[in-house]
Structure 1
Amino acid sequence: MAKNLTTGSPLKLIVLFTLPLLVGNVFQQAYAVADTIVVGRMIGVQALAAVGASASLQFLLFGFAMGCSAGLAIPVSRFYGAGDLAGMRRAVAMGALVSASVAVFITVVGVLGAPLLLHLLGTPAELVPSATVFLRVFFAGSIATTAFNYLSSVIRALGDSTTPLLFLVLASVLNVALVVLFVGPMDTGVGGAALATVLAQLMSALLCLVLVWRRMPELHVRRSDFVLDVRQLRESARLGFTLGFQMSIIAMGAALLQFGINGLGSTAVAAFTTAMRVDQMAVIPLASVGVAMATFVAQNAGAGQWDRILVGVRKAMMMAIGMSILLGLLIFLFGTQLVEVFVGPGEPEVVSMSHQYLVVNSALYAVLAVLFICRHTIQGLGSTLAPTLAGVLELVARGIVGIFLVKHLGFLGVIIAAPAAWVLALVPLVIAWRGHRRVLQGRVLQSSKPTPVVPDVVPVA
């Protein structure tokens, strides 16, 4: 249920909030992992490459939806931290309107534009039919995925990261069962794998609605809450669209990189797809701490607890860097075995290329850890300029690599793309955080100054 993050040990609260996010993100990635393993093992590497060729487009549109949901939840956290439940409900209502418009946009663009978008990415001709089917089914279920992202973000904004985890666990089990059924006995191909994910997301969204209705009365919006509040709608749209745009910029960079990879052939596409699945699972702990920081910072900003923000950021940074070192070591030791889970031992070239990718990327996970903490902390404070600039720089880095370096360096260019993007994006975030930290330190000093006592003036007779 709802949990106030403005009192108690900052590190303990961040850890307790992060753990369900961590497990939940693992299960959320299990959707993609289940698709990849089943498609790769039961249909073949060609089908795996088709799913991989569509990954950047999924990230482009659903990345926007996920970023938008995170942004829409920031005012909810701030109002909740300030104890303003009426303002919180208005923020939830305005966010729901924005989220619904995003779902409609994704559905129309994704379903109608899939073949054209794949063509613009230079997708190998033999992969286009299967990739188109996968994308159209996936995007036809946009309303379910967007609804779950928004509802779970709002629930987490109130400090409850555990219940969405339970829903993800149930949905992940359903997804695995359905993808095996659809791709195996029912022989529905890659379209069945996409349908399994959509149905699992739909169940998660429905469970979130049931939770809000039965257990979270503070989120029961009324008809009056949907009366147009221009100021609140503008703020929700600003944060939502800005964070969504940031994710889309990153996805555009991934799409440009995918363009370069597609030119290397199906083996390179399959290797990149497999490596990305493992990489995404590995960085979940780092991403989870970042998401936790956005809620922690927003609630404490609403309550004016500036010192807690500084303490929380410092301790979370140390924890994330420690985790990044451990994760890098695990990837170095067991990367080959992890890759073989997806494609089996019969694809040595795919396994070798994937492992090289993972070793180089995992060596720089500490950079990614600092990036996540800085980005989400700044977003939790309601600032969007530096994170947006960081996204643009990621786009530039991945675009240069995808268009130019991959052509000349081959798969080596693919390997260095992500680290180059992380390093470049980190620059404006570190500069911005140093500025925010000085402001917060000033507020702490100001709030700690004792109020001067004015002595009573005794009138002279």
Structure 2
Amino acid sequence: MAKKMTEGRPLSLIMGFAVPLLVGNILQQTYNIIDAAIVGRALGANALASVGASSSVQFLVLGFCIGIACGFGVPIAKSFGAGNLPEMRNHIFHAMFLTGVFAVVLTAVCALFCPQILHMLSTPDKIYPGAYHYLLILFLGIPFTLLYNLMSSILRSVGDSRTPFVFLAISTVLNIVLDLVCILVFHWGCAGAAAATITAQAISGILCCIYIWTKVPLLRLSRSDCRLHSRGVRIMTTMGVPMGLQYSITAIGSMVMQYANNSLDSVVYVSAFTAALRLKQFFMCPFDAIATGVSVFCSQNLGAGKKKRIVKGLFQGMAVAVGYGLCAGIMLIFFGRILCQIFISGKEVEVLDAAAKYMFCQGFFFWSLGILNTCRMTTQGLGYSGRAVFSGVTEMVARIVVSLIFVPVYGYTAICFGDQTAWISACIYILPTCLICMKKVGADFRLRKTA
């Protein structure tokens, strides 16, 4: 159900929007954890390393897909907040057109260069076959990834975060069932895990399309809405591509770190990194949900010209996110080793020790993600996507410096501090940048009133 966020208490609206999104993200990460647990427990540490050996490039490509879908949602949310429904529907049409173009190009390029990507990441020979089959199947499923994320972004732009959650829940349950069937019954190995993911995501995306067409007349396009023009392409590209690049640029730094970790030539460290990464992504879910809620809130109120609500929404959302980060950090510090045993058998002492060390080091700086994610998404939601991208550049540079300078000297210990270095560096940039953008928005509102 569509919902305007231009009236009412900001924090209540943001959290009401964020909670279904959070539960959906947790379901998604729960699947990722179960997926890794099934692979690690049923197929062994080498198979777990195969799935994780390319995690950074997965984030680069799939993150770009998620990013452009989120970016396309900003003009849609702004038009909805302003009450300009014809413009909103035309934005939806351009988003669908551009998504189709990206789907064709990304799938062809990524599938073609899959072997080169794995070699570039210095993937150990022992785990290369499993890593190749897993990554190739994920790449072939890019159109379905784009489909689901675009449909979800459109629904969230008009204040509906519950419907995407329902379809994601269906997808997650289906994903787990298919995982068990493909790995334990059909014995497809790492390829089975990827096939299960893509099949479930395809079903979820198709269900979203059917729901929008049959149940949400507000978003149903007529022939007059489907007019392609350069202005519409420019608006959507200006918002979507920078946000996609934001995810991808961040992932480039992660790729360099993955390369550095793989170059240590130890399956122990690759397996530990994979398990710890799954846990980290799970604990990051609330940051993404809160930040998305704040971004949609700010986009709608930007369209309605309500600056004071934007300011209040940002600071209240940030306070909640930082508070969560402090609590989650304590969990990682004191219970990281126990949590890592979800993926790693107690007999794999070296792998377990390395994964627990990674989580322990992360816990002390986890709060910084509350500032980083909220300010970055708000900056994007206010229309300054180019400035938000530079926070990703900052993260990338920080990870590259750690990977190329400190990992050769300090080894895996430097890997354990790579993310934190990137988070703090990006916070130093994005917090004042976000405040400057909000000030600029306020000045623009005053100019409109005097005009």
Task: Say if 1:81 and 1:302, in contact at 8 Å, map to a contact too.
Answer: yes
The CA deviation at 1:258 is 0.5
> In 2, Cα distance between the equivalents of 1:242 and 1:217?
30
The CA deviation at 1:442 is 4.9
Aligned AA (2:257): L
Partner of residue 153, structure 2? 153
Aligned AA (2:363): S
1:17-32 equivalence runs, <5 A: 17-32=17-32
Partner secondary structure for residue 16 of structure 1: helix
> In 2, Cα distance between the equivalents of 1:144 and 1:334?
36
Task: Say if 1:307 and 1:440, in contact at 8 Å, map to a contact too.
Answer: no
Partner of residue 456, structure 1? none
1:280-299 equivalence runs, <5 A: 280-299=281-300
Partner of residue 412, structure 1? 413
The CA deviation at 1:446 is 8.0
The CA deviation at 1:444 is 7.3
Partner of residue 324, structure 1? 325
Aligned AA (1:406): V
Cα deviation 1:24-65 (Å, max 9, x = unaligned): 111122332222111101001001001101211211111111
The CA deviation at 1:447 is 9.1
Partner of residue 91, structure 1? 91
Aligned AA (2:44): G
Partner of residue 454, structure 1? none
> In 2, Cα distance between the equivalents of 1:31 and 1:154?
24
The CA deviation at 1:210 is 1.6
Partner secondary structure for residue 352 of structure 1: helix
Task: Say if 2:182 and 2:196, in contact at 8 Å, map to a contact too.
Answer: yes
1:315-394 equivalence runs, <5 A: 315-394=316-395
> In 1, Cα distance between the equivalents of 2:58 and 2:173?
22
> In 2, Cα distance between the equivalents of 1:112 and 1:260?
24
Task: Say if 1:307 and 1:444, in contact at 8 Å, map to a contact too.
Answer: no
Cα deviation 1:401-455 (Å, max 9, x = unaligned): 2223212111111111001111111222122122123335556778999x9xxxx
Task: Say if 2:333 and 2:361, in contact at 8 Å, map to a contact too.
Answer: no
Partner secondary structure for residue 417 of structure 2: helix
Task: Say if 2:332 and 2:362, in contact at 8 Å, map to a contact too.
Answer: no
The answer for unaligned runs of 5 or more in structure 2 is none
The CA deviation at 1:344 is 2.0
Q: TM-score, normalised by structure 2?
A: 0.97
The CA deviation at 1:239 is 0.8
Aligned AA (1:430): L
Partner of residue 80, structure 1? 80
Partner of residue 279, structure 2? 278
> In 2, Cα distance between the equivalents of 1:441 and 1:384?
17
Partner of residue 301, structure 2? 300
Aligned AA (2:16): L
The CA deviation at 1:198 is 0.4
Partner of residue 457, structure 1? none
Task: Say if 1:386 and 1:428, in contact at 8 Å, map to a contact too.
Answer: no
Partner of residue 425, structure 1? 426
Higher mean C-alpha displacement, 330-339 vs 129-138: 330-339
> In 2, Cα distance between the equivalents of 1:292 and 1:232?
25
Partner of residue 42, structure 1? 42
1:206-217 equivalence runs, <5 A: 206-217=206-217
1:192-231 equivalence runs, <5 A: 192-231=192-231
> In 2, Cα distance between the equivalents of 1:22 and 1:407?
38
Task: Say if 1:115 and 1:128, in contact at 8 Å, map to a contact too.
Answer: no
The CA deviation at 1:144 is 0.9
The CA deviation at 1:11 is 0.5
Partner secondary structure for residue 8 of structure 2: coil
> In 2, Cα distance between the equivalents of 1:100 and 1:448?
40
> In 1, Cα distance between the equivalents of 2:137 and 2:374?
35
> In 1, Cα distance between the equivalents of 2:321 and 2:193?
34
> In 1, Cα distance between the equivalents of 2:438 and 2:244?
25
Cα deviation 1:51-110 (Å, max 9, x = unaligned): 101211211111111111000110000000000110000100101111111211221122
> In 2, Cα distance between the equivalents of 1:404 and 1:96?
43
Partner of residue 66, structure 1? 66
The CA deviation at 1:222 is 2.3
Partner of residue 313, structure 1? 314
Aligned AA (1:327): A
> In 2, Cα distance between the equivalents of 1:277 and 1:56?
12
Partner of residue 142, structure 1? 142
The CA deviation at 1:252 is 0.7
Aligned AA (2:37): I
Task: Say if 1:106 and 1:142, in contact at 8 Å, map to a contact too.
Answer: yes
Aligned AA (1:34): I
Aligned AA (2:126): E
Aligned AA (1:424): S
> In 1, Cα distance between the equivalents of 2:223 and 2:31?
36
Task: Say if 1:306 and 1:443, in contact at 8 Å, map to a contact too.
Answer: no
Partner secondary structure for residue 122 of structure 1: coil
Task: Say if 2:384 and 2:437, in contact at 8 Å, map to a contact too.
Answer: no
Partner secondary structure for residue 367 of structure 2: helix
The answer for unaligned runs of 5 or more in structure 1 is 452-461
The CA deviation at 1:400 is 1.6
Aligned AA (1:308): R
Aligned Cα root-mean-square deviation (Å): 1.6
Higher mean C-alpha displacement, 347-356 vs 219-228: 219-228
1:262/1:306 CA distance change after superposition, 3 Å: same
> In 2, Cα distance between the equivalents of 1:112 and 1:31?
28
Partner secondary structure for residue 227 of structure 1: coil
> In 2, Cα distance between the equivalents of 1:445 and 1:158?
26
From the CA coordinates, give the structure whose radius of gyration is larger: 1
Task: Say if 2:334 and 2:360, in contact at 8 Å, map to a contact too.
Answer: no
> In 1, Cα distance between the equivalents of 2:448 and 2:389?
31
The CA deviation at 1:326 is 1.0
> In 2, Cα distance between the equivalents of 1:251 and 1:133?
21
Task: Say if 1:17 and 1:159, in contact at 8 Å, map to a contact too.
Answer: yes
Higher mean C-alpha displacement, 330-339 vs 116-125: 330-339
Q: TM-score, normalised by structure 1?
A: 0.95
Cα deviation 1:286-325 (Å, max 9, x = unaligned): 1211111111110110011111101111111111111111
Q: Are positions 1:131 and 2:148 aligned together?
A: no
Aligned AA (1:434): L
Partner of residue 269, structure 2? 268
Task: Say if 2:60 and 2:252, in contact at 8 Å, map to a contact too.
Answer: yes
Partner secondary structure for residue 31 of structure 1: helix
Percent of matched pairs sharing the same residue: 35
Aligned AA (1:268): Y
